[in-house]
Amino acid sequence: MQHYRPIHQLFRQAAVVDRQLALVRPFASLATVTNNTSNLKENTNLSNRQKFNQIQPPIKLYEKLEKLGFGTLLKTKRYSGLHKQKAKRDQQRQKFTERVGPPPEPKYTFPLLSFFAGAKAPTSFPPESLDEIAFVGRSNVGKSSLINSVAESNVVRTSDKPGLTQQINFYNVGKLFHMIDMPGYGFAFVDDAEREQWRQLMETYITERKTLKRVYVVLDARHGVKVADIDFFKMLNSKQVKFQIVLTKCDLLVLPNLAKRIITVENHIQQLRNAVKDVVVVSSKTNAGINQFRKEMLFLMGHLKPKEFYEAVQATKDEKEAKKSKSLNSKR
Ligand SMILES: Nc1nc2c(ncn2[C@@H]2O[C@H](COP(=O)(O)OP(=O)(O)OP(=O)(O)O)[C@@H](O)[C@H]2O)c(=O)[nH]1
Ligand SMILES: [Mg+2]
Protein backbone atom coordinates (compact mmCIF):
# COMPACT_ATOMS: atom_id res chain seq x y z
CA MET A 1 0.00 0.00 0.00
CA GLN A 2 1.36 3.44 -0.91
CA HIS A 3 1.59 6.07 1.79
CA TYR A 4 1.23 9.75 0.92
CA ARG A 5 2.67 12.36 3.19
CA PRO A 6 0.30 15.13 4.26
CA ILE A 7 0.92 18.34 2.33
CA HIS A 8 2.03 20.36 5.39
CA GLN A 9 4.83 17.84 6.01
CA LEU A 10 6.06 18.28 2.45
CA PHE A 11 6.11 22.04 2.90
CA ARG A 12 8.00 21.70 6.16
CA GLN A 13 10.57 19.43 4.49
CA ALA A 14 10.95 21.88 1.59
CA ALA A 15 11.54 24.71 4.06
CA VAL A 16 14.27 22.71 5.82
CA VAL A 17 16.01 21.94 2.50
CA ASP A 18 15.72 25.60 1.51
CA ARG A 19 17.28 26.71 4.78
CA GLN A 20 20.13 24.20 4.37
CA LEU A 21 20.68 25.46 0.83
CA ALA A 22 20.72 29.02 2.08
CA LEU A 23 23.66 28.14 4.30
CA VAL A 24 25.74 26.64 1.51
CA ARG A 25 24.61 28.90 -1.35
CA PRO A 26 27.32 31.53 -1.13
CA PHE A 27 25.87 34.52 -2.96
CA ALA A 28 22.13 34.27 -2.76
CA SER A 29 19.60 37.11 -2.77
CA LEU A 30 19.47 39.69 0.03
CA ALA A 31 16.40 37.99 1.50
CA THR A 32 18.17 34.63 1.59
CA VAL A 33 21.22 36.16 3.20
CA THR A 34 18.96 37.63 5.85
CA ASN A 35 17.56 34.13 6.54
CA ASN A 36 21.10 32.93 6.50
CA THR A 37 22.10 35.25 9.34
CA SER A 38 19.05 34.43 11.42
CA ASN A 39 20.05 30.76 11.14
CA LEU A 40 23.46 31.70 12.33
CA LYS A 41 21.93 33.52 15.27
CA GLU A 42 20.32 30.26 16.37
CA ASN A 43 23.77 28.71 16.66
CA THR A 44 24.60 29.84 20.18
CA ASN A 45 28.16 28.46 19.98
CA LEU A 46 29.22 31.29 17.70
CA SER A 47 30.32 34.66 19.04
CA ASN A 48 28.76 37.80 17.59
CA ARG A 49 32.01 38.49 15.74
CA GLN A 50 31.98 34.99 14.21
CA LYS A 51 28.34 35.39 13.16
CA PHE A 52 29.18 38.75 11.62
CA ASN A 53 32.13 37.28 9.71
CA GLN A 54 30.00 34.47 8.32
CA ILE A 55 27.52 36.79 6.63
CA GLN A 56 27.84 36.65 2.88
CA PRO A 57 26.46 39.83 1.36
CA PRO A 58 25.00 39.46 -2.14
CA ILE A 59 26.67 41.03 -5.16
CA LYS A 60 23.65 43.34 -5.57
CA LEU A 61 24.50 45.04 -2.28
CA TYR A 62 28.14 45.52 -3.31
CA GLU A 63 26.98 47.04 -6.59
CA LYS A 64 24.69 49.45 -4.73
CA LEU A 65 27.50 50.54 -2.39
CA GLU A 66 29.89 50.97 -5.29
CA LYS A 67 27.36 53.23 -7.02
CA LEU A 68 26.98 55.34 -3.85
CA GLY A 69 30.74 55.97 -3.77
CA PHE A 70 31.97 53.52 -1.13
CA GLY A 71 34.73 52.08 -3.32
CA THR A 72 35.02 48.78 -5.12
CA LEU A 73 35.57 45.22 -4.00
CA LEU A 74 39.25 44.24 -4.03
CA LYS A 75 40.28 41.98 -6.90
CA THR A 76 41.68 39.30 -4.62
CA LYS A 77 41.26 35.53 -4.65
CA ARG A 78 38.88 35.85 -1.69
CA TYR A 79 36.31 37.78 -3.73
CA SER A 80 36.92 36.08 -7.09
CA GLY A 81 33.50 34.35 -6.87
CA LEU A 82 31.78 37.71 -6.46
CA HIS A 83 33.75 39.23 -9.33
CA LYS A 84 32.73 36.32 -11.58
CA GLN A 85 29.10 36.95 -10.65
CA LYS A 86 29.48 40.66 -11.32
CA ALA A 87 30.95 39.99 -14.76
CA LYS A 88 28.04 37.69 -15.57
CA ARG A 89 25.51 40.30 -14.44
CA ASP A 90 27.26 42.99 -16.48
CA GLN A 91 27.16 40.72 -19.52
CA GLN A 92 23.44 40.10 -19.08
CA ARG A 93 22.76 43.79 -18.55
CA GLN A 94 24.76 44.64 -21.66
CA LYS A 95 22.68 42.20 -23.67
CA PHE A 96 19.45 43.86 -22.67
CA THR A 97 20.37 47.52 -22.51
CA GLU A 98 23.18 47.74 -25.08
CA ARG A 99 25.16 49.48 -22.31
CA VAL A 100 22.83 52.47 -22.23
CA GLY A 101 22.80 52.92 -18.49
CA PRO A 102 20.50 55.28 -16.60
CA PRO A 103 21.34 58.99 -17.07
CA PRO A 104 23.73 60.36 -14.43
CA GLU A 105 22.14 61.91 -11.34
CA PRO A 106 22.44 65.67 -10.94
CA LYS A 107 23.79 67.15 -7.75
CA TYR A 108 20.78 67.74 -5.51
CA THR A 109 21.05 70.84 -3.35
CA PHE A 110 19.35 72.30 -0.30
CA PRO A 111 18.73 76.02 0.21
CA LEU A 112 20.70 77.84 2.92
CA LEU A 113 20.69 76.28 6.41
CA SER A 114 20.08 78.61 9.38
CA PHE A 115 19.53 78.09 13.11
CA PHE A 116 16.26 79.55 14.44
CA ALA A 117 15.46 77.97 17.84
CA GLY A 118 16.86 75.84 20.63
CA ALA A 119 14.79 74.09 23.31
CA LYS A 120 15.77 72.60 26.67
CA ALA A 121 12.12 72.21 27.67
CA PRO A 122 8.91 71.56 25.71
CA THR A 123 7.70 75.07 26.57
CA SER A 124 10.53 76.46 24.39
CA PHE A 125 9.56 74.49 21.26
CA PRO A 126 8.90 76.98 18.44
CA PRO A 127 5.33 77.00 17.07
CA GLU A 128 4.55 74.30 14.51
CA SER A 129 4.87 75.67 10.97
CA LEU A 130 6.88 73.92 8.22
CA ASP A 131 7.28 70.13 8.07
CA GLU A 132 10.16 68.71 10.10
CA ILE A 133 12.78 65.96 9.91
CA ALA A 134 14.53 64.98 13.14
CA PHE A 135 17.93 63.32 13.64
CA VAL A 136 18.31 61.19 16.76
CA GLY A 137 20.88 58.64 17.90
CA ARG A 138 23.47 57.84 20.53
CA SER A 139 26.00 60.50 21.47
CA ASN A 140 28.83 61.08 19.04
CA VAL A 141 27.41 58.93 16.23
CA GLY A 142 27.56 61.92 13.86
CA LYS A 143 24.05 63.48 13.84
CA SER A 144 25.20 67.12 13.73
CA SER A 145 27.88 66.35 11.11
CA LEU A 146 25.24 64.65 8.98
CA ILE A 147 23.03 67.76 9.00
CA ASN A 148 26.01 69.90 7.95
CA SER A 149 26.88 67.44 5.26
CA VAL A 150 23.43 67.21 3.62
CA ALA A 151 23.02 71.00 3.80
CA GLU A 152 26.65 71.66 2.70
CA SER A 153 27.04 73.93 5.70
CA ASN A 154 29.08 74.34 8.86
CA VAL A 155 26.36 76.04 10.90
CA VAL A 156 25.84 73.03 13.18
CA ARG A 157 28.47 72.59 15.90
CA THR A 158 30.20 69.21 16.03
CA SER A 159 32.83 67.71 18.32
CA ASP A 160 34.89 64.58 18.72
CA LYS A 161 33.79 64.48 22.38
CA PRO A 162 30.34 62.95 23.05
CA GLY A 163 27.55 65.08 24.48
CA LEU A 164 28.08 68.34 22.59
CA THR A 165 24.46 68.87 21.50
CA GLN A 166 22.55 69.40 24.76
CA GLN A 167 19.24 70.81 23.54
CA ILE A 168 16.88 70.31 20.62
CA ASN A 169 18.12 72.61 17.86
CA PHE A 170 15.83 73.75 15.04
CA TYR A 171 17.22 74.71 11.63
CA ASN A 172 15.53 76.26 8.61
CA VAL A 173 16.31 74.67 5.26
CA GLY A 174 15.57 77.88 3.36
CA LYS A 175 11.82 78.14 3.41
CA LEU A 176 11.29 74.48 2.48
CA PHE A 177 11.31 72.57 5.79
CA HIS A 178 13.06 72.25 9.15
CA MET A 179 15.85 69.91 10.22
CA ILE A 180 16.07 69.11 13.93
CA ASP A 181 19.28 68.13 15.70
CA MET A 182 18.66 66.19 18.93
CA PRO A 183 20.94 65.53 21.90
CA GLY A 184 22.39 62.02 21.94
CA TYR A 185 20.70 59.32 23.97
CA GLY A 186 22.57 56.79 26.12
CA PHE A 187 25.12 59.45 27.06
CA ALA A 188 27.15 58.11 29.98
CA PHE A 189 28.68 61.31 31.33
CA VAL A 190 25.55 63.02 32.62
CA ASP A 191 23.77 62.04 35.82
CA ASP A 192 20.58 59.95 35.83
CA ALA A 193 18.29 62.92 36.49
CA GLU A 194 19.68 64.87 33.56
CA ARG A 195 19.53 61.85 31.26
CA GLU A 196 15.90 61.28 32.24
CA GLN A 197 15.17 64.97 31.52
CA TRP A 198 16.66 64.68 28.01
CA ARG A 199 14.78 61.46 27.38
CA GLN A 200 11.48 63.07 28.34
CA LEU A 201 12.24 66.13 26.23
CA MET A 202 12.95 64.00 23.14
CA GLU A 203 9.96 61.75 23.75
CA THR A 204 7.64 64.75 24.10
CA TYR A 205 8.95 66.29 20.88
CA ILE A 206 8.76 63.04 18.91
CA THR A 207 5.32 62.02 20.05
CA GLU A 208 3.55 65.37 20.16
CA ARG A 209 4.97 67.32 17.24
CA LYS A 210 2.38 67.26 14.47
CA THR A 211 4.71 68.68 11.82
CA LEU A 212 7.31 65.92 12.36
CA LYS A 213 7.36 63.86 9.16
CA ARG A 214 10.32 61.53 9.65
CA VAL A 215 12.66 60.48 12.43
CA TYR A 216 16.10 59.42 11.23
CA VAL A 217 17.87 57.24 13.77
CA VAL A 218 21.57 57.68 13.12
CA LEU A 219 23.93 54.76 13.86
CA ASP A 220 27.72 54.63 13.76
CA ALA A 221 28.44 51.98 11.10
CA ARG A 222 31.36 50.64 13.13
CA HIS A 223 29.12 49.80 16.10
CA GLY A 224 25.72 49.03 14.53
CA VAL A 225 22.71 48.56 16.79
CA LYS A 226 23.41 48.87 20.55
CA VAL A 227 21.15 48.27 23.57
CA ALA A 228 20.28 51.98 23.86
CA ASP A 229 19.19 51.93 20.20
CA ILE A 230 16.96 48.90 20.75
CA ASP A 231 15.27 50.71 23.65
CA PHE A 232 14.77 53.75 21.45
CA PHE A 233 13.33 51.65 18.57
CA LYS A 234 10.90 50.10 21.05
CA MET A 235 9.80 53.52 22.28
CA LEU A 236 9.29 54.75 18.69
CA ASN A 237 7.40 51.60 17.81
CA SER A 238 5.15 51.81 20.87
CA LYS A 239 4.28 55.44 20.02
CA GLN A 240 3.74 54.43 16.38
CA VAL A 241 6.31 56.88 15.08
CA LYS A 242 7.70 56.04 11.65
CA PHE A 243 11.49 56.00 11.57
CA GLN A 244 14.39 55.17 9.29
CA ILE A 245 17.95 54.11 10.07
CA VAL A 246 20.90 56.09 8.74
CA LEU A 247 24.28 54.35 8.95
CA THR A 248 26.99 56.97 9.02
CA LYS A 249 30.81 57.02 9.36
CA CYS A 250 30.71 54.33 6.66
CA ASP A 251 34.10 55.55 5.40
CA LEU A 252 35.63 53.89 8.47
CA LEU A 253 34.71 50.34 7.37
CA VAL A 254 36.13 48.24 4.57
CA LEU A 255 33.50 47.46 1.94
CA PRO A 256 32.77 43.81 2.90
CA ASN A 257 32.29 44.77 6.56
CA LEU A 258 30.04 47.65 5.59
CA ALA A 259 27.87 45.27 3.52
CA LYS A 260 27.71 42.85 6.49
CA ARG A 261 26.81 45.69 8.86
CA ILE A 262 23.90 46.72 6.62
CA ILE A 263 22.56 43.16 6.73
CA THR A 264 22.79 42.93 10.53
CA VAL A 265 20.98 46.29 10.90
CA GLU A 266 18.27 45.18 8.46
CA ASN A 267 17.81 42.04 10.55
CA HIS A 268 17.25 44.14 13.66
CA ILE A 269 14.46 46.23 12.16
CA GLN A 270 12.76 43.44 10.19
CA GLN A 271 10.17 42.86 12.90
CA LEU A 272 9.50 46.53 13.71
CA ARG A 273 6.33 47.67 12.02
CA ASN A 274 7.16 51.39 12.05
CA ALA A 275 10.67 51.07 10.69
CA VAL A 276 11.31 51.91 7.04
CA LYS A 277 13.00 48.79 5.72
CA ASP A 278 15.54 50.65 3.55
CA VAL A 279 18.69 51.62 5.45
CA VAL A 280 20.37 54.88 4.38
CA VAL A 281 24.15 54.50 4.00
CA VAL A 282 26.35 57.61 4.15
CA SER A 283 29.64 59.20 5.15
CA SER A 284 29.69 62.84 6.22
CA LYS A 285 33.44 62.83 5.74
CA THR A 286 33.70 61.59 2.15
CA ASN A 287 30.13 62.55 1.20
CA ALA A 288 29.49 59.06 -0.19
CA GLY A 289 25.74 58.41 -0.27
CA ILE A 290 24.93 62.03 0.67
CA ASN A 291 23.58 63.12 -2.73
CA GLN A 292 21.19 60.15 -2.81
CA PHE A 293 20.10 60.91 0.78
CA ARG A 294 19.47 64.55 -0.14
CA LYS A 295 17.28 63.42 -3.03
CA GLU A 296 15.29 61.07 -0.75
CA MET A 297 14.76 63.85 1.82
CA LEU A 298 13.61 66.34 -0.79
CA PHE A 299 11.18 63.74 -2.16
CA LEU A 300 9.89 62.91 1.32
CA MET A 301 9.24 66.59 2.07
CA GLY A 302 7.51 67.13 -1.29
CA HIS A 303 10.19 69.48 -2.62
CA LEU A 304 12.01 67.36 -5.18
CA LYS A 305 12.18 69.34 -8.42
CA PRO A 306 12.86 67.96 -11.93
CA LYS A 307 16.50 67.09 -12.72
CA GLU A 308 16.77 70.09 -15.06
CA PHE A 309 16.36 72.45 -12.08
CA TYR A 310 19.41 71.03 -10.26
CA GLU A 311 21.42 70.89 -13.49
CA ALA A 312 20.70 74.59 -14.07
CA VAL A 313 21.70 75.47 -10.47
CA GLN A 314 24.97 73.58 -10.94
CA ALA A 315 25.65 75.27 -14.29
CA THR A 316 25.17 78.73 -12.74
CA LYS A 317 27.50 77.80 -9.85
CA ASP A 318 30.16 76.49 -12.24
CA GLU A 319 29.90 79.68 -14.31
CA LYS A 320 30.35 81.86 -11.22
CA GLU A 321 33.36 79.79 -10.08
CA ALA A 322 34.96 80.05 -13.51
CA LYS A 323 34.49 83.86 -13.54
CA LYS A 324 35.95 84.14 -10.02
CA SER A 325 39.06 82.13 -10.82
CA LYS A 326 39.51 84.05 -14.10
CA SER A 327 39.46 87.42 -12.30
CA LEU A 328 41.83 86.08 -9.62
CA ASN A 329 44.27 84.89 -12.28
CA SER A 330 44.19 88.24 -14.08
CA LYS A 331 44.95 90.11 -10.81
CA ARG A 332 48.08 88.01 -10.20
N1 LIG B 1 35.20 59.50 9.72
C2 LIG B 1 34.03 60.09 9.97
N3 LIG B 1 33.86 60.83 11.08
C4 LIG B 1 32.66 61.40 11.32
C5 LIG B 1 31.57 61.24 10.42
N6 LIG B 1 30.51 61.89 10.93
C7 LIG B 1 30.92 62.46 12.07
N8 LIG B 1 32.21 62.17 12.31
C9 LIG B 1 33.00 62.60 13.49
O10 LIG B 1 32.38 62.09 14.65
C11 LIG B 1 32.47 63.01 15.73
C12 LIG B 1 31.10 63.29 16.32
O13 LIG B 1 30.31 63.98 15.39
P14 LIG B 1 29.05 64.85 15.80
O15 LIG B 1 28.37 65.20 14.53
O16 LIG B 1 29.40 65.95 16.72
O17 LIG B 1 28.20 63.75 16.59
P18 LIG B 1 26.78 63.91 17.33
O19 LIG B 1 26.03 62.65 17.10
O20 LIG B 1 26.12 65.16 16.90
O21 LIG B 1 27.24 63.98 18.85
P22 LIG B 1 26.41 64.58 20.13
O23 LIG B 1 25.99 65.98 19.77
O24 LIG B 1 27.44 64.55 21.21
O25 LIG B 1 25.29 63.66 20.39
C26 LIG B 1 33.17 64.25 15.16
O27 LIG B 1 34.53 64.19 15.50
C28 LIG B 1 33.00 64.11 13.65
O29 LIG B 1 34.04 64.71 12.92
C30 LIG B 1 31.77 60.42 9.24
O31 LIG B 1 30.90 60.19 8.42
N32 LIG B 1 33.03 59.88 9.08
MG1 LIG C 1 25.49 66.83 17.99
The pLDDT of residue 23 is above 60 = no
> How far, in Å, from the CA of 141 to the mean position of ligand 2?
8
Confidence of residue 192 (pLDDT cuts 50, 70, 90): confident
**Amino acid identity at 3:** H
The pLDDT of residue 69 is above 90 = yes
> How far, in Å, from the CA of 283 to the mean position of ligand 2?
16
Question: Which of 40, 69, 97 is the endpoint of a domain?
Answer: 97
| 260-311 confidence digits (pLDDT tens) | 999 999 999 988 889 999 999 999 999 999 999 999 999 999 999 999 999 9
The answer to whether position 318 is within a domain reads no
Predicted pLDDT of residue 102? 66
Containing domain of residue 14, as a range? Answer: 7-97
Confidence of residue 251 (pLDDT cuts 50, 70, 90): very high
The pLDDT of residue 97 is above 50 = yes
The answer to whether position 239 is within a domain reads yes
Average pLDDT in the 307-328 region? Answer: 90
Asked whether residue 85 falls in the same domain as residue 224, the answer is no
Question: Which of 46, 66, 97 is the endpoint of a domain?
Answer: 97
Closest ligand to residue 217's CA? 1
Is 273:137 a contact under the CB 8 Å cutoff? no
Cα 245 to Cα 136: distance, rounded to the nearest angstrom:
10
| 42-57 confidence digits (pLDDT tens) | 567 888 889 999 999 9
Asked whether residue 61 falls in the same domain as residue 197, the answer is no
Higher-confidence residue of 265 and 73: namely 265
The answer to whether position 134 is within a domain reads yes
> How far, in Å, from the CA of 103 to the mean position of ligand 1?
33
Asked whether residue 131 falls in the same domain as residue 55, the answer is no
Asked whether residue 178 falls in the same domain as residue 91, the answer is no
The pLDDT of residue 11 is above 60 = no
The answer to whether position 205 is within a domain reads yes
Number of domains present in the structure of the chain: 2
Confidence of residue 99 (pLDDT cuts 50, 70, 90): low
CA distances from 303 to 106, 175, 289, 290 (A): 15, 11, 19, 17
Confidence of residue 19 (pLDDT cuts 50, 70, 90): very low
The pLDDT of residue 218 is above 80 = yes
> How far, in Å, from the CA of 284 to the mean position of ligand 2?
13
- Give, as one character, the DSSP assignment of residue 301: T
Cα 214 to Cα 165: distance, rounded to the nearest angstrom:
20
Predicted pLDDT of residue 35? 41
Asked whether residue 158 falls in the same domain as residue 198, the answer is yes
The answer to whether position 107 is within a domain reads no
CATH number for the domain spanning 259: value is: 3.40.50.300
The answer to whether position 164 is within a domain reads yes
Q: Is 197 exposed, middle or buried (0-12, 13-18, 19+ CB in 10 A)?
A: middle
Q: What is the DSSP string of 152-208?
A: T---S---SSS----SEEEEEETTTEEEEEPPPBS-TTS-HHHHHHHHHHHHHHHHH
Pocket test for ligand 1, best of 222, 282, 284 (most atoms within 8 A of CB): 284
Asked whether residue 189 falls in the same domain as residue 248, the answer is yes
Confidence of residue 4 (pLDDT cuts 50, 70, 90): very low
The pLDDT of residue 81 is above 90 = no
Predicted pLDDT of residue 15? 42
Asked whether residue 74 falls in the same domain as residue 141, the answer is no
> How far, in Å, from the CA of 267 to the mean position of ligand 1?
25
% of the chain surpassing 90 pLDDT: 55
Helix (H) or strand (E) holding 33: helix 30-42
The pocket around ligand 1, CB under 6 angstroms, is made up of: 137, 139-145, 158-160, 162-165, 183-184, 248-249, 251-252, 283-285
Mean pLDDT of the chain, nearest integer: 84
Asked whether residue 134 falls in the same domain as residue 64, the answer is no
Asked whether residue 82 falls in the same domain as residue 168, the answer is no
Average pLDDT in the 5-19 region? Answer: 43
Atom 9 of ligand 1, residue of closest alpha carbon = 142
The answer to whether position 104 is within a domain reads no
> How far, in Å, from the CA of 140 to the mean position of ligand 1?
5
Atom 29 of ligand 1, residue of closest alpha carbon = 160
Higher-confidence residue of 170 and 270: namely 170
The answer to whether position 105 is within a domain reads no
Is 215:248 a contact under the CB 8 Å cutoff? no
Closest ligand to residue 218's CA? 1
Predicted pLDDT of residue 104? 80
Asked whether residue 271 falls in the same domain as residue 149, the answer is yes
| 109-150 confidence digits (pLDDT tens) | 999 999 999 999 999 999 999 999 999 999 999 999 999 999
Closest ligand to residue 138's CA? 1
Asked whether residue 55 falls in the same domain as residue 154, the answer is no
Asked whether residue 274 falls in the same domain as residue 156, the answer is yes
